Amino acid sequence: MELIAQGRDADVYALDGTRVLRRYRDGGPPTGPEARVMTYLAEKGYPVPRVHDVTDTDMVLERLTGPTMLDEMARRPWRVTALGRELGRLHDRLHAVPAPEWLRERFTTGADDRVLHLDLHPGNVLLTERGPVVIDWSNAAAGDPAADVAMTVVTVASADVPGLTVRLARGLLLHGLRSGSRTDPSHRMRDAARQKLNDPNLRPKEAAWLHRLAAGAGAGD
């Protein structure tokens, strides 16, 4: 099998022109709801990879072709704001889906929980011929849509990126995200920063930015 991608937890192999095999390095998929939530969302019409099969160690998924939204931003920077708006719309489409009772709760509202991705950044959106498709559902949960948008904002805003041009593009992306989504994340920003601080891959500058936000202080670039 041809190795075509490597993530933090799994390697992805091409099976044929329409399917890929996602093999987990630690002996099996996480106990979370990833395959089940993708199947549920596909039934609701949300753009996710089709799940073909799941075993103790592997997941067979639809093979998707196209750049990530992050790659598209790098190749066509004049599209950054428009891509941000698309990211906002993807949030709103997702948050129109009621959370099923079996989905774990995080940032719960206590009454009207929705499906949350909780890592919906430009690197997890593939721009395919059938439109944008959202991947990597390992963090999916039931909860408050504002927390989902806030997690995207803190993930993008805290990233330790080089150069003024990239930071300006980031600002345009976040502006597009805010204008593209009807959800105001403001009241969940500190919660999202605290959650993001659990990421073991944070760089020192990223952690410092998040600590300032979590404490309620201003967190400039």
Residue 218: per-residue pLDDT: 57
Rg of the chain, C-alpha, whole Å: 17
Residue 29: per-residue pLDDT: 60
* Percent of the chain residues past pLDDT 70, beyond the cut: 95
Residue 133 backbone dihedrals phi, psi, to 5 degrees: -125, 130
Place 107 in a pLDDT band, splitting at 50, 70 and 90.
very high
Helix (H, G, I), strand (E, B) or coil at 84: helix
Q: Tell me if 90 sits within 8 A of 116, measured CB to CB.
A: no
Instruction: List the single range of 57-61, 89-93, 186-190 with lowest mean pLDDT.
Output: 57-61
Model's pTM, two decimal places?
0.91
Mean pLDDT of 137-157: 96
DSSP for 15-53, please give it.
Answer: -SSSEEEEEETTSS--SSSHHHHHHHHHHTT---PPEEE
- Between helix 164-180 and helix 80-95 the angle, nearest 10°, is 40
Distances 147 to 47, 117, 132, 183, 211 between C-alpha atoms, Å: 21, 10, 22, 10, 17
Residue 30: per-residue pLDDT: 54
Q: Tell me if 104 sits within 8 A of 32, measured CB to CB.
A: yes
Whether 199 has a pLDDT exceeding 60, the answer reads: yes
Residue 32: per-residue pLDDT: 59
